[in-house]
Amino acid sequence: MSEAHTFHPTVLREYDIRGIVGSTLTAADARAVGRAFGTVVARGGGKTVCVGYDGRLSSPELEAAMVDGLVACGLHVLRIGLGPTPMLYFATRDREAAAGIMITGSHNPPDYNGIKMMLGKGPVYGRQILDIGAIASKADYVSGEGSSEQLDIKDAYVERLLRDYDGTRDLTIAWDAGNGASGEILRRLTAKLPGKHVLLFDEIDGNFPNHHPDPTVEKNLVDLKAAVAEHGCDIGIGFDGDGDRIGAIDHLGRVVWGDQLVAIYAADVLKSHPGATIIADVKASQTLFDEIARLGGNPLMWKTGHSLLKAKMAETGSPLAGEMSGHIFFADKWYGFDDALYCAVRLIGLVSKLNQPLSELRDRLPDVVNTPETRFQVSEERKFQVVQEVKARLKAEGADVNDIDGVRVKTADGWWLLRASNTQDVLVARAESGTPEGLERLKGMVVAQLEASGLQAPSFEDGGSAH
């Protein structure tokens, strides 16, 4: 008889389960998730679950505990081993498994780890994650005699990634795997892609000895920029720790941000899906939404969060969606999940067949000035209250407010955003304008609203002319 299990209050999050190994997240937690989520799968009639893990030092132990929990529910577990999160998503779809579980800390520091889940073809998030906690707290488990086997899906995954490559000329590409879980797949992929490939930090190492594995933070792209310059590369591509977020550099060494990549992909996708809905999160540049409309697509602004965007894509039949954070989702030719390796294949193909440098595709978008995401500490209880207070004041003033996720306010100068993070005890602010003076005015509006709620305003870093 399994005992009831209570999780640390900070680990059951909106999009996944995540914590500090040995402190807020342990092997006992992983086994309890296996029992509770396995119970959900079994009660829904499911029989098979795919399980994978990333390159963190704690991942093998958590994976073994997870498998124990699933097997105790009477399920058959396909253990795909070490690799990127999208390989787990692919295995689950390819093998038509009832569910998939990935042990990964994504781009968190080395002492973190976590669990991402999918049920059927969709993500597990929000209420479903809280339900897992409720099942474990009551030990309301199904029991049975299950089994597990090792499954090597790597070659099948690489072949599927390659199938949609449509380039017509060879490029020179630098790749930075950040010592994350994509390294081995990247080696196999680049061995079969045409062109010249320069690989950085493709050895999987959970200590992340070279830089933090988050390609959306510019300081983590220093080595990639240097490799692009040294080897005369057409493109530089970086991955996060578990391979579901992409970063890109043009041949001039400039970052091509997540929303700019979505705009570049949209121009291609809308050729075969005219008038389609293309989704981006509330943090994305207005230039992206304007560009989608200019291309004849239907731009849809949605809540931040990879699980939320995936669900909205499925609901609207959208062929493409993306986040500022580099989670980009193709349902055009692909499965609708975020896969940085697949996004890379599509980007290389696009630049190759258009016979234009990535810099030209980037520069089609109007130049704007913006702040980076500015985060500042606010208690879990207070962060949502502040957003509600700001929203009430703005609506009373008759401001142009989109409140799909926090408040995004449009003015003659551009727009500013304030939202509560779903994964941390922080508020996130961002602003974008056509002019530096306009940006200062927008920042002043954010500061005034926060001070009206009794908070010390954030110190915005200089956004420069990021895009």
Catalytic site residues? 106
Give the CA distances from residue 312 to residues 243, 265, 281, 304, 407, in Å, rounded to whole numbers and listed in that order.
Answer: 22, 18, 11, 11, 19
Q: How many CB atoms lie within 10 A of CB 301?
A: 17
Give the CA distances from residue 247 to residues 43, 59, 207, 255, 261, in Å, rounded to whole numbers and listed in that order.
Answer: 40, 24, 21, 8, 9
Residue type, 333: K
3-class secondary structure, 134 = helix
Task: Please state, in angstroms and rounded to a whole number, the distance separating the CA atoms of residues 381 and 227.
Answer: 45
Question: What element of type H or E holds 448?
Answer: helix 436-452
3-class secondary structure, 167 = coil
DSSP 148: E
Tokens found for residue 316: 């609207």
Q: How many CB atoms lie within 10 A of CB 372?
A: 17
The number of residues in the chain equals 467
Question: What element of type H or E holds 447?
Answer: helix 436-452
Task: Please state, in angstroms and rounded to a whole number, the distance separating the CA atoms of residues 200 and 198.
Answer: 7
Helix (H) and strand (E) counts in the chain:
14, 22
Q: 387-395 long-range contacts, Cβ below 8 Å, gap at least 24?
A: 387/418, 387/419, 387/420, 387/427, 389/452, 389/453, 390/418, 390/449, 390/450, 390/452, 390/453, 393/449, 393/452, 394/449
Helices (H), 199-339: 222-231, 258-272, 286-294, 306-316
Angle in degrees, 0-180, between the axes of helices 340-354 and 258-272, rounded to the nearest 10? 70
Concatenated DSSP letters for 333-397? SS-SSB-HHHHHHHHHHHHHHHTS-HHHHHHTSPP-EE---EEEE--HHHHHHHHHHHHHHHHHT
153 alpha carbon, distance to own chain's centre: 22
Task: Please state, in angstroms and rounded to a whole number, the distance separating the CA atoms of residues 422 and 427.
Answer: 9
Q: What are phi and psi of 142, to 5 degrees?
A: -85, 155
